[in-house]
Structure formats: C-alpha cells, structure tokens
Chains A and B, each alone.
Chain A
C-alpha cells in the first residue's frame, strides 16, 4: 500500500494542556481510515494539524512531523495550496451566507477558476457526489444557510469536494444529520474511495466498522492501536482497551 500521509511523533499543546501526546501512524492511499475514541481525545486536533488550521488557534503548539506524499506540511510555503489538497467537513454544518451555487463554487473561484461552464459542471458534479443535487437543482440561487441541517451538511461535503481534494477529512459528520441522510452520505464515501483518501473521525464505532478499511483508536491524546477492521473489531485486538471500547464497555 502506498502511503499518502505519514504522521510521526505528533505532539500538540494548547497552553498547558496536551491534546496529542506523540502519535505516529500512516494513512494509505485510497483507503478510508476511521479514527475513533471518546470526546476530548484529540481527534479533531489531529485533523486541524493536517490542514494547518491549527495555526488559527491562539496558544496551540505543534511538534513532530506530518508529511503528505512525502512533503513535510510545515515546509509548504503556500498554505492555501495545502488546504486545497484537503477537504474538511466538521461536525456542525456550515452553509456560507451565499447561494447554493456560490457555496460550492467558492473554493474553485478562490483558487482562480473563472470559466463559467467549467464551474457549472464542477458544481453539478460535487452536488451529485454529495447526494444533494436532486433536492436543490431547481433552486441553486437560494441561500445555502436556509437549507435544513442535513442538507447543509451535504452542502458542506459538496464544498469540501469542490476544490478536488486528494484527501477528505470528515469529523463526526453525522452528528447534525438524520439517519437516512447519514446512510446516503456513507454510500457516497464508499464511492469516493476510489478517487480520494478519506479520514473519518467518528464517535460511532459501528460507523467505522461499516465504512472503514482500517481504524485507529485514540484515547486521551495517545494512539492506542491502529489496524485493519478485521483485527480491530475482532474478539482479540492487540490491546484489551480497544476491545473494551469497540464493544461499548467504556467511553
């Protein structure tokens, strides 16, 4: 398996508090990697390090290295190029106060795409991929913020795909979404696997089990175990704690 992301000895501190205590693992190309663990384990922090939005948090300090395709992300000069490589979906859906069309076209335009027909095509493709197209194709010029929560979350996913990322990170995307929509998005993710590498942070162990190739278990800033789903969800993973967590004995 080709390595897409290599994380080694990653430490993150917010002032005194240590959110990640030196974790190391790889993300393979075109896999869905699940990241599970209780709240406050450092899962979201991990994603923010990868696209370097951690830099916007005052007092956050990052040590260790993260490389994408072998390039250390800290040494990438144009951080916006890096962020365009990565699609991010956070727990709460955020429709920008723009039309649905402009929501999806925002990132390509920011990257310099002006061609109207290419934009049209891209918007349609992203909305189809995020399973929103059928619901909004007749009202692309209405406000994205006026959509329902589930629709906004799919709009967020469409936006995350709009700059054609190589990596897609989702952080507990199903929190604000109804179960039916969740299943539809999960189907979308399975299809996307052939094109992009997906990191799926979730607190739903069953979701990781359904969707992922491999799963990592993080607890209080430490990586407890990472392995293929066959091992992680079997009766004898390497760590007893993993077994306890995935079987709902704590967390």
Chain B
C-alpha cells in the first residue's frame, strides 16, 4: 500500500487523513448496492404482498358466516344457505384415500431410484417419466381418471375413482421429495452397513428410512394440502355438486359413493348457482385455504423441529 501511495502521482493520497476516504468508485458502489437491494426487495415484496392482502380480504368477507356450525352443517335451500359439512368430509375422504395409495408407492419408488437403480438409460427413463408425470396438467389427469378408472375399470364416478386419480397426480411429487430426503442420508452410513454384511434392505430399513423419515413425512404432508385443493381431477371422476349426508357421521360416505368436495363446492357456488349470498363462497374459500395453509404450516414446523435434532 505504502509504495503505491508514495509513487502515486496524486499527492492527496499521501495524506493519511484522506487515504481511506471514500473515492468516487466506492461511493458509486455503495449507492448501486443500495439501489440493487431496494429494487429486488420491492420485487419480492410485490409478490408476497398479494398473499397477505388476499388472505385478509377473504377472511374479512367471510367473517359473518364463519363458525363451527358452518363446517358441521349440511347446505340447505339449493346451497344458498347452511354449511359445508358434506364437502368438508368428502375432501377428507378423497385426500385420505389418495395418500393411502400414493404414499407407499411413491416412497418405494423413490427408494428404488435412490437405493437400487444403477446409472443407466433405464433409470434415466424412469426419472424422465417422473418429471413428466409431475408436469401433466390436472385436467389431463381428469381425462385419464375418467377413461381409466370410471369407464375402463368400471368404478363409475366414485370416491375411489377420484382418489386414485388424485393419487397418481400426487405421486411424482412424493417421489421427488422422498428422493431428496433419502439423498440427505450420507452414503458412508450405507457403506458401513454393507461392510458388516447387512443386506440392502436391512440397511434401508434400519438406517436409511429411520433417518430420512422426517423429510419423507414433510413431503407427504405437503401433498395433503395439494390434494385437498385440487378440483379439476375430481370434477369428472367422483365429485358432485350436491349430496346431503348425515350430520356428524364421519362414516357417511362409502368407497363407491359420489361425494362433495370443498374445492368443487367453491367452484359450484361461485359460478354455477345463481343468487348465492356473498359470504357463503367466501366462507368456503377461507375454510379451504385455511385447511391447506394450516397443513402446510404444520409441515414447515415439523421440518424445522426435526432439523434441529438431527442425529449427525
């Protein structure tokens, strides 16, 4: 530093008082730094702002109708009054059954891809299939469900057909999140197990799965919220506009019954039924959104909690 200062043609830099003073370049750098930060912050906030605005607006509009009875009552007078019980229960059924199918298949598929598959063209095709399965539009899933389950397999429009359609839709995301969770378990653990003569499956069951279960569960929980919100895939495979069921009976639906669903109900009363009091669709939207965000928040809390007690 000192040599460059003494040989500098500018005598000002010799003065120790001014040597470290801001140069024009430094000032400009600081300014652009601030400007950049501000620009990108604005862009980010503009994205987040709508979320808060929308949620508060929906809750504000729905406030007059929100009560526990709104969830537990049947709709009455052509869905222009009453509650959303059959839709709420229907959504629980659809989500529950679809995950019962997609979670084991998805987790095992991920186990195959991460623990068994060798790097070859076949594995590459499976991975490609998973990526593309994730990209299939939900309405195409609906067409598939109608063609395969409702008509070909003869299930008719039923909870079962709709759940299976949802299951195939959620499958690729479960595979992806499980793969990520399995990949986070260090390879050294697996090698240590193989070295003492444990089989692949013993290694997976005793070491890999127990240590990735939190990530796997988080991925599955996130799919609960996704399946609960989907409308298109169930529209033509099992969800109906209206069906009254016994109040408070959680076994009111059978596998081959048609059912209502929250998402479908919101679509119906906001577009298909005239003269619905305003608060009703808002209330339905808030219950749907609330359920979904609650489940998501649960997944996030679980993830943070489990991350804090990692075993290595």
Contacts and interface: CB of A to CB of B under 8 A. Distances in A.
A145 to B, nearest CB: 4
A177 interface: no
Nearest to A82: B197
Given A58-B118, A110-B199, A145-B311, A96 B193 contact: yes
A110 B192 CA distance: 13
Contacts, number: 68
Contacts of B197: 80-84, 107, 110-111, 163
A80 B312 contact: no
B24 interface: no
Given A53-B191, A96-B192, A97-B311, A106 B119 contact: no
A159 B196 contact: yes
Contact of B195 (A92, A97, A160): A160
A143 interface: yes
A94 interface: yes
B207 interface: yes
A87 B119 CA distance: 29
B247 interface: no
Interface residues of B, number: 20
A30 interface: no
Interface residues of A, number: 29
Interface string B191-209: 1111111110010001100
Contacts of A81: 197
B214 to A, nearest CB: 12
Nearest to B199: A80
B188 interface: yes
B188 A94 contact: yes
A92 B188 contact: yes
B189 interface: yes
A53 B195 contact: yes
B196 A143 contact: no
Contact of B198 (A51, A82, A95, A110): A110
Interface centre among B189, B194, B197, B202 (most CB of A within 10 A): B197
Interface string B170-199: 000000000000000000110111111111
Interface in A25-71: 51, 53, 56, 58
B119 A58 contact: yes
A163 B191 contact: no
B91 interface: no
B189 A156 contact: no
A58 B192 CA distance: 18
The 7 closest A-B pairs by CB, nearest first: A84-B197, A107-B196, A83-B197, A97-B311, A88-B195, A145-B312, A110-B198
20 contacts: A53-B195, A56-B191, A58-B119, A80-B198, A87-B196, A88-B196, A92-B188, A94-B188, A94-B191, A95-B312, A97-B189, A97-B210, A97-B211, A97-B311, A106-B198, A110-B193, A110-B196, A110-B199, A143-B311, A159-B196
